[in-house]
């Protein structure tokens, strides 16, 4: 199985061609940073798969990088987004509509992705946030899955604690040597990120005024094999604990605040049931769209 030094070496072999490809791609909020996506692109090429599956699309940042790096029609790219009514849907469609080997789907990754694994593939999970480890486990039970990549696994997250217990072969992009070598790829990302008021005080190892242990959001890769998973170590309560605590915070309520506040006022019971219990607001948004 690949160790850290070999993974960095593989990424180094791809970095120049990758840098040329992404040079014309502007960063969009909620996207994976360029240095993180280098890991995905490099290892996907290394594993020689032709099928690429993505869970969680938002503004289509990672989707666009994948589509640009794997334009050859021998590749099939499938992107799954849960929220058909997200305000990001139109933007992502406009960014991605020209790619002929890319299929954009809407639905639940837990039900869709297992049916999509028909040949050897790599899978990128940038949503759902809660349940990402469970989805990765489900995917890696299929030997056709060579590797699963999961975003937002910083050193201070409970999901990362769970992941390191569950998976035997892993690598994180907040690895010190990896950051030192490839952080130059993110210079434009940091500049573009400052266009968004919410992220103006973010910087390497810092979110607003809070110092963090990880360089940024962090992409993890879990490599598959016969003994890749310690299923007896999986504790979904540990994975979900921080997300539940976060969902009750006042700051969380202000995310997408115009729509959320409107929903809370007009549909308080739906908000409590769907947002608090399940962490989703698709049905609230759907009701609001139908009412308007």
- Pair (173, 267) in one structural domain: no
Domain presence at residue 207? yes
- Pair (104, 56) in one structural domain: yes
**Residue 78's CATH number:** 3.40.50.150
Tally of domains in the chain: 2
Q: Which domain holds residue 36?
A: 4-235
- Pair (128, 252) in one structural domain: no
- Pair (222, 194) in one structural domain: yes
Q: What is the C-alpha to C-alpha distance for residues 11 and 263, in angstroms, rounded to an integer?
A: 45
**Helix then strand then coil, % of the chain, to nearest 5:** 50, 15, 35
Decide if 68 contacts 21 (C-beta within 8 A). Answer: yes
pLDDT exceeds cutoff 80 at 94: yes
Domain presence at residue 242? no
Tokens of 25: 């791609």
- Pair (192, 286) in one structural domain: no
Domain presence at residue 241? no
User: Which 3 state secondary structure label does DSSP give 96?
Assistant: helix
- Pair (146, 207) in one structural domain: yes
- Pair (180, 284) in one structural domain: no
pLDDT exceeds cutoff 80 at 203: yes
- Pair (56, 85) in one structural domain: yes
- Pair (226, 196) in one structural domain: yes
Domain presence at residue 240? no
Domain presence at residue 56? yes
pLDDT at 197: 86
Domain presence at residue 157? yes
- Pair (226, 255) in one structural domain: no
Domain presence at residue 29? yes
Of residues 132, 141, 134, 152, the one with CA closest to residue 36: 152
pLDDT exceeds cutoff 80 at 56: yes
Reported as a single tens digit per residue, the pLDDT across 226-281 is 999 998 888 776 555 544 444 444 554 555 556 656 656 665 655 554 444 444 44
Q: What is the pTM of this model?
A: 0.83
- Pair (117, 255) in one structural domain: no
């Amino acid at each position: 199985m690949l160790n850290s030094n070999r993974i960095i070496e593989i990424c180094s072999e791809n970095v120049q061609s990758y840098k040329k490809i992404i040079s014309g791609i502007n960063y969009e909020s909620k996207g994976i940073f360029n240095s993180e996506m280098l890991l995905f692109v490099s290892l996907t090429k290394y594993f020689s798969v032709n099928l690429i599956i993505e869970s969680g699309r938002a503004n289509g940042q990672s989707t666009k990088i994948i589509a640009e790096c794997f334009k050859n029609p021998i590749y099939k790219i499938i992107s799954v987004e849960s929220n058909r009514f997200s305000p990001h849907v139109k933007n992502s469609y406009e960014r991605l509509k020209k790619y002929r080997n890319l299929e954009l789907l809407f639905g639940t990754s837990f039900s869709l992705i297992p049916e999509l694994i028909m040949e050897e593939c790599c899978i990128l999970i940038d949503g759902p946030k809660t349940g990402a480890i469970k989805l990765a486990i489900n995917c890696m039970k299929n030997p056709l899955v060579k590797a699963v990549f999961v975003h937002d696994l910083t050193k201070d997250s409970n999901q990362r604690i769970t992941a390191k217990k569950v998976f035997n072969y892993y690598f994180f992009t907040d690895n010190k040597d990896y950051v030192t070598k490839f952080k130059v790829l993110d210079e434009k990302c940091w500049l573009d990120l400052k266009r968004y008021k919410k992220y103006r005080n973010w910087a390497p190892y810092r979110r607003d005024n809070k110092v963090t242990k990880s360089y940024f959001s962090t992409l993890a890769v879990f490599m598959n094999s016969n003994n890749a998973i310690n299923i007896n170590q999986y504790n979904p309560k540990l994975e979900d604990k921080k997300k539940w605590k976060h969902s009750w915070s006042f700051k969380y309520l202000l995310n997408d605040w115009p729509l959320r506040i409107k929903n809370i006022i007009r549909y308080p019971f739906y908000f409590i049931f769907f947002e608090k219990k399940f962490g989703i607001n698709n049905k609230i948004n759907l009701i609001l769209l139908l009412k308007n």
